[in-house]
Amino acid sequence: MATAVKLSGISKTFGSLKANDNVSLSIEAGSIHALVGENGAGKSTLSNIIYGLLHPDSGTIEIDGKAVKFSSVRQAIEAGIGMVHQHFMLVPTLSVTENIILGKEESRFSLPTKRIGKEIGRLAGQHGLEVDPDALVSTLSVGEQQRVEILKLLYRRARILILDEPTAVLSPPETARLFATLRSLADEERTILLITHKLDEVLTVSDSVSVMRKGSLVGTVPTTSTGKEDLAKMMVGRDVLLRTANAPQAPGKTVLSIDKLTYRSPLGIDKLTGLTLHVRAGEIYGIAGVEGNGQSELLSLLWGTFDRGGKTGGSITIDAQKTLGWNPSEIAALGVSMIPEDRHKSAIIAEYGIEENLILGRHREKAFHRGIGFDRDAVHKNATAMIEQYDIRCAAGANPPIASLSGGNQQKIVVAREMERPQLKLLVLAQPTRGVDIGAIEQIHKRIIDARKSGLAILLISSELEEIVALSTRIGCLYKGAIRHEFSETEVWQGRDRESGFEKEIGMHIT
369 binds another protein (CB under 8 A): yes
301 binds another protein (CB under 8 A): no
254 binds another protein (CB under 8 A): no
Question: C-alpha distances in angstroms, 40 versus 18, 239, 413, 453?
Answer: 10, 19, 18, 33
Cβ distance to another protein smaller for residue 306 or 502: 306
Residue type, 422: P
Interface with another protein in residues 93-132 (CB under 8 A)? none
Cβ distance to another protein smaller for residue 110 or 423: 423
Residues 223 and 34 sit within 8 Å (Cβ to Cβ): yes
351 binds another protein (CB under 8 A): yes
- Report phi then psi at 72, rounded to 5: -155, 165
- State how far the Cα of 357 lies from the Cα of 350, in Å rounded to an integer: 8
249 binds another protein (CB under 8 A): no
- Report phi then psi at 5, rounded to 5: -125, 130
Cβ distance to another protein smaller for residue 70 or 306: 306
- State how far the Cα of 60 lies from the Cα of 11, in Å rounded to an integer: 10
360 binds another protein (CB under 8 A): yes
- Report phi then psi at 184, rounded to 5: -70, -30
303 binds another protein (CB under 8 A): yes
Q: What order of strands is seen across the sheet that includes strand 482-487?
A: 336-339, 426-430, 457-462, 284-288, 474-479, 482-487
- Report phi then psi at 294, rounded to 5: 115, 0
Per-residue binding letters, 327-346, with another protein (x by CB under 8 A): xxxx-x-----x-x----xx
Cβ distance to another protein smaller for residue 88 or 352: 352
- State how far the Cα of 211 lies from the Cα of 35, in Å rounded to an integer: 6
Of residues 423, 479, 412, 435, the one with CA closest to residue 341: 435
347 binds another protein (CB under 8 A): yes
CB of residue 350 to another protein, shortest distance in Å: 7
What is the CB neighbour count within 10 angstroms for residue 180?
13
356 binds another protein (CB under 8 A): yes
Of 89, 349, 398, 508, the residue at the interface with another protein (CB under 8 A) is 349
Of 348, 457, 460, 461, the residue at the interface with another protein (CB under 8 A) is 348
Binding span for another protein by CB under 8 A among 79-87, 213-221, 321-329, 472-480: 321-329
Per-residue binding letters, 23-62, with another protein (x by CB under 8 A): ----------------------------------------
- State how far the Cα of 367 lies from the Cα of 373, in Å rounded to an integer: 12
350 binds another protein (CB under 8 A): yes
Cβ distance to another protein smaller for residue 214 or 369: 369
Cβ distance to another protein smaller for residue 221 or 360: 360
CB of residue 100 to another protein, shortest distance in Å: 31
What's the gap between Cα 202 and its chain centre? 16
Cα 271–Cα 171–Cα 136 angle in degrees, nearest 5 = 70
361 binds another protein (CB under 8 A): yes
Binding span for another protein by CB under 8 A among 22-30, 118-126, 219-227, 359-367: 359-367
How many chain residues touch another protein (CB under 8 A)?
26
233 binds another protein (CB under 8 A): no
- State how far the Cα of 376 lies from the Cα of 211, in Å rounded to an integer: 44
Per-residue binding letters, 371-390, with another protein (x by CB under 8 A): -xxx----------------
DSSP conformation letters of 202-250? HHHH-SEEEEEETTEEEEEEEGGG--HHHHHHHHHSS---SS-------
Binding span for another protein by CB under 8 A among 123-131, 204-212, 355-363, 501-509: 355-363
Cβ distance to another protein smaller for residue 237 or 266: 266
Residue 215, sorted as left (phi over 0), alpha (psi -120 to 50) or beta, turns out to be: left
CB of residue 141 to another protein, shortest distance in Å: 25
Q: Which residues bind another protein (CB under 8 A)?
A: 303, 305, 327-330, 332, 338, 340, 345-352, 356, 360-361, 363-364, 369, 372-374
